[in-house]
Structure 1
Amino acid sequence: MIRILTVLAALTMGLSAPAQAADPITGQWVTTERDAVVTIARCGSSYCGRLSKYLVRPEGGVNQRDVNNPDPNLRTRKLLGIALLSGFRMDDDLWRGRIYDPRNGKTYRSIVKRKSANVLEVKGCIGPFCQTQVWRKAR
């Protein structure tokens, strides 16, 4: 009887593993500065993260625009709702894509790793040099 239960438990865990591996970075995450929430979800064939909420009212107000964007046509779009993370795809236990910094209008290569159920490690990289932030699950 114990052997049957063990086999059933192993099969159940095996069936749930692909679902857990497929969406490990989705959800709402509070940025390192604790000033905003980024919502990560499926966007077509990859994953993206949108600025979904301000936790601290920005100096310029909540209707700030993407004024530092290198594309003049995008400088009037609101920052709230903008995709900060784009094109993320799973690569072993890492997620690789691009991260946009609206403070300077630049896009960087990015690596995201789920450190625990409540912690994401988010890296923005130029060449071999990366800057790391820790984002925490929003409650």
Structure 2
Amino acid sequence: MKKFALITTALVFSAGMAAAADPLEGMWRTAKDDNGNSGLIKVAPCGAKLCGTLIKAYGPDGNEMASENIGRQIISETVNDGGGKYSGKVYSPDRGKTYKSKLVLSGATLNVSGCVLGICRKGGTWKKVN
């Protein structure tokens, strides 16, 4: 009986740990790109890493617009490095390039930057959407 109680306690504890969401998970509004467009990204687990999919696109006027990138993974292969820092990949629709990314989470803001072939770019500050 004691053994059963220990196993049950361990299973409940590990299930609680697995259910804890990473602070990066959720909806994020991107900064405007070179064309003045922005997007709504849904970040969720994909395997042991985090990915972010473009859910909506917005034009320079802030109104929702059609985009061939809806449904595309904008954030991929992203891992929590601790202390609010993340690394992975970010796709930039305005340039058609995937950058090795650095993400820094601070409360409800996410500073995005990345490099490809030694060329680095700041992706601006994304805002958490409730």
- Return the TM-score normalized by structure 2: 0.68
Does 2:27 correspond to 1:28? yes
- Residue 51 (structure 1) aligned with residue 58 (structure 2): no
* CA offsets 1:88-117 (integer angstroms, 9 cap, x no match): 01113211000111222211110111111x
Tell me: CA distance 1:112–1:39, structure 2 relative to 1, closer, same or farther (3 Å). Answer: same
Q: Secondary structure at the match of 2:64?
A: coil
Aligned CA distance change for structure 1 residues 102 and 129 (closer, same or farther; 3 Å): closer
Which letter does structure 2 place at the counterpart of 1:53? Answer: K
1:102 paired to 2:111: no
The amino acid that maps onto 2:38 is D
Counterpart in the other structure of 2:105: 114
Q: 1:124 is matched with which residue?
A: 114
* 3-state SS in 2 of match to 1:136: strand
Residue from 33, 38, 41 that aligns with 2:41: 38
Percent same amino acid at aligned positions? 32
Q: Secondary structure, in 3 states, of the residue corresponding to 1:80?
A: coil
Partner in structure 2 of residue 3 of structure 1: none
Measured on the aligned residues, the alpha-carbon RMSD in Å equals: 2.3
- Mind listing any 5+ residue stretches in structure 2 that lack a counterpart? 1-16
Partners of 2:111 and 2:38 in 1: CA distance = 17
Secondary structure in 2 matching 1:24: coil
- After superposition, the C-alpha distances for 1:42-101 in whole angstroms (9 at most, x for unaligned) are 01111001101224334xxx1x33xxxxxxxxxxxxx11110010001113211000111
Q: Cα deviations across residues 112-138 of structure 1 (Å, max 9, x unaligned)?
A: 11111x111111223374414101111
CA distance in 1 between counterparts of 2:129 and 2:82 reads 25
Contact kept in structure 1, 2:88 and 2:102, CA below 8 Å: yes
Runs of 4+ that moved beyond 4 A: none
**Residues of 2 paired with 1:132 and 1:104: CA distance?**
12
Q: How many residues align?
A: 103
